[in-house]
Chains A and B, each alone.
Chain A
Amino acid sequence: MNKVGKSEVRVDAFDKASGRTKYYEDRVPAGALYVRIKHAEIAHGMVKSVDTAAAEAIPGVVKVLTCFDVPDLPFPTAGHPWSMDPGHQDVADRHLLNRHVRYWGDDVAVVIAENEVAANQGVRALKVEYEALPFVLDVQEAMKDGAPLLHEEYPNNILKHTSSRLGNYEAAIKEPGLIKVEDWYDTPTVQHCHIENHGCFAWEENGRIVVVASTQIPHIIRRVVAQALGRPWGDVEIIKPYIGGGFGNKQDALYEPLCAWCCTQVGGRCVRLDCAREETFVSNRVRHAIRYHIVTWLKSDGTIHARKVECFSNQGAYASHGHSVVAKGMGSFPQHYPCPNMECDSYTVYTNRPTAGAMRGYGMPQASFADECNIEDCARALGMDSYEFRKKNVMEQGYHDGFSGNTNYYDTYRQCMAKAAEYIDFERKKKEFANDAGDVRRGIGMATFWYNTAVYPISLETSSNRMSLNLDGTVTFQCGETEIGQGADTAYAQMVAEVLGLKSYRDVHVVSCQDTDITPTGLGAYASRQTYVAGFSIQQTAGLLKEKILKYAQEVTRQAPGNMDIVDGEIVRKGDGMVLMPLSELAMTAQYNPVHSEHITAESTYTIRNNAYSFGCTIAEVEVDIPMCRVTVKNIVNVHDCGRLINPALAAAQVHGGMSMAIGYGLSEQLIFDEKTGKPLNGNLLDYKLSTFMDHPHLEAEFIENTEPTSPFGTKALGEPPACSGAPAIRNAILNATGVAINHNPINPHVLFAEFTKAGLIHDDWREEEK
């Protein structure tokens, strides 16, 4: 292989560097009407009435539509493949606008206006009368009898409860001499914070609806828009231009259905719906806040004998991706640190918070935090070095999971940890930092994770693509797995060039913009699957295209197809390597042959029935200023085994972004709610503490390249894994520095103040005087 494995420049880099790249908002036609949403200003209740008169009187306001006007067609929003099994279909629990308000920020009405100012004025002029109901923000509270109920069909607000059992936990814990390590671990509600907000615009064309949207999943959006509007799926065309990041938020039908419907309510005129940043925070999707209760029973030899894991996932107001997120995280426990007796339960619970959906890592950053905090605490309970404890207990080489079919083919975990430890000089620093005793102390900590590359066998895993031979010998490539910033298009170009034998990846023209009328059906960008799943279909389609090319070449060159190959964009005879003709000549000949004209193309679908473990770890070094309640990450390294790297530079860049997200998750990011009203308090980029340029040290990304045997290119997940292990590594480093184990993130100064006070590291004498 010589096209993959190279740090090629991104195919879209020039345009992005020159500012030419067009995102959805750059394509909105002049004259499009503005749609602005009236969001609920209560956390729970019923809309009694909406007085629209004042809004309608504002010059420029075209139409006001309320929750009383929308079709009674509940629809699901999750960006999951459709399931033919009704029991496996996503929960359809929301309307385009909702009379039953289930969170502060729910969508109650819209104003459509000729300009932005009139639309905003219209929204402010709406008078909504509510019947307020009690609300609940906390999962444990929501599960109690008598708690406010969000959806009548779900008693105790439990959307779903699943369990897994291994061995016999109850019997196992009776064994004498076991050491018990039990605690609760809590993770926060955070948001994706892609820099481009979600937005879309829609118009009618020849009786159909066209929506241009900032989405990761155009083909799925087509289905959801049709469902929400009660139209045949073919009536909807979704176009996905370049998008400014998604991270899972745009793996959901956000406002495409509402925008499409508004368009139909103004005679098919073009309408635009642009989310403001504040709406992105509250009325799009967030990451599930998941609370864990873990009880681990250890043997004195340092092995894990039994483990109980309970997971409580805060779904917020609507189902979106629902239970699949916490379930994915729960599934990681038995495999990460296998032990003979396990009892796992997870609950997904509706609350009056913003809706949680997919977010980079899909339940794993949460599970990783809980798991790796607990594992660290287990090692301490045993008086054992936690690195040694991990080496002893983490998934072994050869481990096989019967459900997914995954196998741990290599001793990857230990390789990753060793590489990270070597980079950061782990052993020396651990010893050196142990002597710190002053106000400012250093610490170092580690965490590991595993991640499933694709969604098989939980959901359908399919990939389709089309390749067309152009007259100049280049190839145009289309597929439904979208470029969202991660670099998928470049990886595709490299893989196509590789298997077709083109001269350069630049000879592959990837159609980056998906249009459901044109692009082969695909599921979009989600999980960490694009490169992995596209690899199967690229290999297959390229094989078909190559066959057609060589078959035509046989007519021209009189050589047997089996005796020819394509090398560096030329058709060569295998035996002696003689160049028979360049691909461009073949393409021209085939197209313009007056007797046998052929436009050489190939298209195919591959149903993937494999999955692959992706592994990695983080080691973080921190400095803790105890009196100032401040943690600084001084040094951090992630090591990943994502199989063979298709593009090492892009892979490292992906890791940097994930590490940054993990640092924010560990130390600063959290959406906060007013306990009295349920109102989100910090849904903007000033008050929500996304890491800035000054909040990171150098981010070191390293790799162990163990070839993944199931992948034609030896590759597997990397998109999400870098976000998984950073936060617990930082938590464990703080523990190492101060002896204080903090079981909830983000570990921000307020948390440190409370915890250090509790631990006696901080002593404010005046507080006692006040008492």
Chain B
Amino acid sequence: MSAQYKLVHCTINGKEVEKMVDVRASLTDMLRNDYHLTSVKKGCEVGECGACNVLINGEAFNSCIYLAVWAEGKDIRTLEGLLSPDGELSDIQKAFVEETAIQCGFCTPGFIMTAVEILETGKLYTDEELRKLLSGHLCRCTGYENIFRAVKKTMYRRHGKAIDF
């Protein structure tokens, strides 16, 4: 017989945690309901909008279609984890603020986490590559224009390069 609940240990935003989790739960359910990480948004629940995106072992996943029990032993990061202990925004978050890349804010957490994955590869992508890497998120407010600028600007900054939009 399978159990209804299972103990899931994992690392969330740098902290080792464990909780009994309903095996039917998605990772979105677990992060929002059990860990109160409400930056993880629900926009479609079928992996099409990207609002629930989080990093699992450094890669971006739509947590809505990822079973919570699969989080066992994984390193999970959400937007909440990017703020420094003294409340400073990280460079990519600052870039979203500076470039007016945020409007309603609902797609923002997912986008920023994908941007983190992109930036952590340490590569300098072309515009076309960057657009493709960001294409797993839908946004109705921004036309993606300023989000593109925010990510590109941060990528260039990390490479110590001047940017030409």
Contact = CB atoms under 8 A, between A and B. Distances in A.
Closest 3 CB pairs of A and B: A19-B39, A485-B104, A244-B106
A195 B49 contact: yes
A21 interface: yes
A192 B138 CA distance: 13
Given A9-B97, A13-B97, A195-B138, A244 B104 contact: yes
19 contacts: A14-B97, A15-B105, A19-B108, A25-B38, A192-B140, A195-B104, A195-B139, A242-B105, A244-B104, A485-B105, A485-B106, A487-B103, A653-B145, A656-B143, A660-B144, A660-B145, A686-B48, A691-B143, A694-B131
A378 B89 CA distance: 55
B100 interface: yes
B148 A18 contact: no
Contact of B102 (A17, A243, A654, A690): A17
A82 interface: no
A556 B143 CA distance: 53
Contacts of B141: 245, 485-486, 653, 657
Nearest to B38: A26
Interface of A: 7, 9-10, 12-23, 25-26, 117, 192-197, 242-245, 247, 276-277, 484-487, 649-650, 652-654, 656-661, 684-686, 690-694, 696, 698-699
A19 B144 contact: no
A193 B140 contact: yes
Contacts of A694: 131-132, 135
Contacts of A117: 24
Contacts of B148: 693
A612 to B, nearest CB: 23
Nearest to B96: A17
Nearest to A657: B141
Nearest to B133: A693
Interface string B33-48: 0000111011111101
A197 B43 contact: yes
B132 to A, nearest CB: 6
Given A18-B89, A19-B79, A243 B134 contact: no
Contacts of B103: 245, 485-487, 653-654, 657
Contacts of B41: 23, 195-196, 244
Interface residues of B, number: 50
B145 A656 contact: yes
Contact of A685 (B49, B131, B146): B49
Contacts of A685: 43-44, 46, 48-49, 138
B142 A18 contact: no
Given A19-B39, A244-B41, 11 more contacts: A18-B79, A193-B138, A195-B139, A487-B103, A650-B100, A653-B146, A656-B145, A657-B142, A660-B140, A685-B46, A692-B135
B116 interface: no
Interface in B59-82: 78-80, 82
B55 to A, nearest CB: 13
Most buried by A among B38, B46, B108, B143: B143
Contacts of A698: 145
A23 B89 contact: no
A698 B145 CA distance: 7
A696 B41 CA distance: 25
Contacts of A484: 104
B16 interface: no
Contacts of A23: 41, 106
B93 interface: yes
A485 B43 CA distance: 16
A659 B143 contact: yes
Given A650-B100, A694-B132, A14 B38 contact: no
B140 A657 contact: yes
A277 B147 CA distance: 23
B98 interface: yes
Given A17-B93, A485-B141, A693 B135 contact: yes
Nearest to B50: A195
A660 B142 CA distance: 8
Contacts of A690: 138, 140
A249 B28 CA distance: 26
Contacts of A18: 39, 79-80, 82-83, 89, 93
A535 B8 CA distance: 54
Nearest to B92: A17
A19 B137 CA distance: 16
B116 to A, nearest CB: 13
B107 interface: yes
B60 to A, nearest CB: 14
Given A17-B112, A19-B109, A696 B143 contact: yes
Given A14-B89, A657-B140, A699 B106 contact: no
